Structure 1
Amino acid sequence: MWFQHSPGIRREFPELAAGALVANGITSSADVKIDHLLAEARLRLRDHSPAELDEIQAWRRTFAAMGLKPTQYRSAAESLLRRFAKEGELPRIHPLIDLCNAASLAWAVPIAVIDVGRVAAWLEVRHADGTERYETFGGETEHPAVGEVIFADADGYAHARRWCHRQSGRSAVREGTTDVLIVAEALHESAAADVASLLTTLSDAVETAWSPPAQAALLTATEPRIEF
């Protein structure tokens, strides 16, 4: 299998910094430590609202460039930050999801967590052609609009809509998930360094909680793909 951003996405958004991590042997019984990440998020939000953060502003500009209203369609990181700022906590779902949500809060960067057992052959961030199928968490099927940025696989399933706005219920991590792909994406000025730091933190945490070494890579315009 492989994951990459399409050449078209790379040309349109040259400032994109992305990292991918592949992990096997995931279970729902692991104990992950996230309090330090939540503390970092609280510190980040002490003097700024989510919308004021450079990381979030960069995604808002990107959503506007895609023809989306940034206050109607938010990046997953902004949605998490808004909920965390309001409630002070996040619900526990699955140890891997909890870890990635906490890291997303700490870095203000959207992180996708995908069950690769539910992905056909490969996964590419690209513009939709209008034939793809997206399964909601409620079990409904939608068809992304032509040109919408999606995570698409070889069978024509969209595993995320509006880039990092919302993932699909089809490949969501669940009780029986064992093999995952984690993707972090950012477009702000220090995105490359921040994604590298985030990827290191996630790799260390995954290896501590689940033991098998994680395969990680920074993805660039010249090396856009991770194979696994």
Structure 2
Amino acid sequence: MHFSHHPAIWAAHPELVAGVLFARGIRADLAAEAQAARFEAVARERLAAAGSESELPEIQAWRRVFARMGLKPTQYRCASESLLRRLRKEGQMPRIHPLIDLCNAVSMAFATPVAALDVAQIRDWLQVCPAEGSERYLAFGGELEHPEPGEVSFVDAQGNAHARRWTHRQSGLSAVREGTREVLVVCEAVHATARQDMPALLDALAQALREAGATTAANRILSAADPRFEF
């Protein structure tokens, strides 16, 4: 299997820095609570210093990207902004699955979208690309949707759309669940210091996964010149 971004994505968003990680040994009883709490504490400190998630440079950069795609940034937020907004408003995050909780916490700490996808639900390959409009997106409520033509999505070989509006919302099809054993984690940043920050994010996530009892098989930073990750 392999993951990549379509050349059109790199051309339209040359500031993009993508980090990918493949992990095995995922279980519903991973001991990730302490690690998630540690990253959430970092997120709280950043929110307290900034006053709001919208003031963080990572979030501002994604808002600019969404605006360029013709999306209203306050209507369609990148995943990390939505998580930080919820943390600020509610004061705490719900516990869903140890891996999801950890990835959400890392996403908030680095203010960067982090998507964890169940590899068993991906068909042959996965690419971030402009959708044709015929792809099938399974919402968490069970509804079947189709991305708009040209909308950026995560698309596999069978035409499954694993995200809507790029980093806005994942699909329920490849969401991590109790039976998940292998995951592909995709982290995407577009802010000015992303090239320095993304390696730190990947290292921190890989270390936290190892501490929790999972096995990180491989991770890479992708670029327009080296856009493909085999896993």
TM-score norm. by structure 2 comes to 0.97
Is the deviation greater in 212-221 or in 148-157?
Answer: 212-221
Q: Residue in 2 aligned with 1:56? A: 59
* From 147, 150, 161, the counterpart of 2:164: 161
Q: Which amino acid aligns with 1:221?
A: A
* From 99, 109, 114, the counterpart of 1:111: 114
CA distance in 1, matches of 2:200, 2:81: 19
CA distance in 2, matches of 1:100, 1:182: 9
CA distance in 2, matches of 1:174, 1:193: 32
Give how far 1:211 is off. 4.2
**1:184-224: per-residue Cα shift (whole Å, max 9, x none)?**
00000001111110000111111222242431011111111
Superposition RMSD on alpha carbons, in Å?
0.8
CA distance in 1, matches of 2:26, 2:6: 28
CA distance in 2, matches of 1:213, 1:176: 18
Is the deviation greater in 114-123 or in 200-209?
Answer: 200-209
**1:82-127: per-residue Cα shift (whole Å, max 9, x none)?**
0001112100111100100000110000100100100100000000
CA distance in 1, matches of 2:140, 2:119: 17
Specify the SS of the correspondent of 1:155: coil
**Can you give the 5+ residue segments of structure 2 that lack an aligned partner in the other structure?**
none
Is the deviation greater in 206-215 or in 43-52?
Answer: 206-215
8 Å CA contact 2:24, 2:214 repeated in 1: no
Q: Residue in 1 aligned with 2:48? A: 46
Q: Which amino acid aligns with 2:199?
A: A
**1:2-57: per-residue Cα shift (whole Å, max 9, x none)?**
00111110011000001000011110111112222111111100132111110000
Q: Residue in 2 aligned with 1:23? A: 23
8 Å CA contact 1:207, 1:214 repeated in 2: no
**1:50-89: per-residue Cα shift (whole Å, max 9, x none)?**
1111000000000000000001000000000000011121
Specify the SS of the correspondent of 1:195: helix
CA distance in 2, matches of 1:208, 1:106: 18
**Can you give the 5+ residue segments of structure 1 that lack an aligned partner in the other structure?**
none
Matched, 1:201 2:198: no
8 Å CA contact 2:26, 2:214 repeated in 1: no
Specify the SS of the correspondent of 1:138: coil
CA distance in 2, matches of 1:134, 1:152: 9
Specify the SS of the correspondent of 1:47: helix
Instruction: Give the percent of matched residue pairs that are identical in Structure 1 and Structure 2.
Output: 57
Matches within 5 A, 1:1-40: 1-32=1-32, 33-40=35-42
Q: 1:8–1:41: structure 2 CA closer, same or farther, 3 Å change rule? A: same
Matches within 5 A, 1:201-220: 201-220=204-223
Length, aligned pairs only = 228
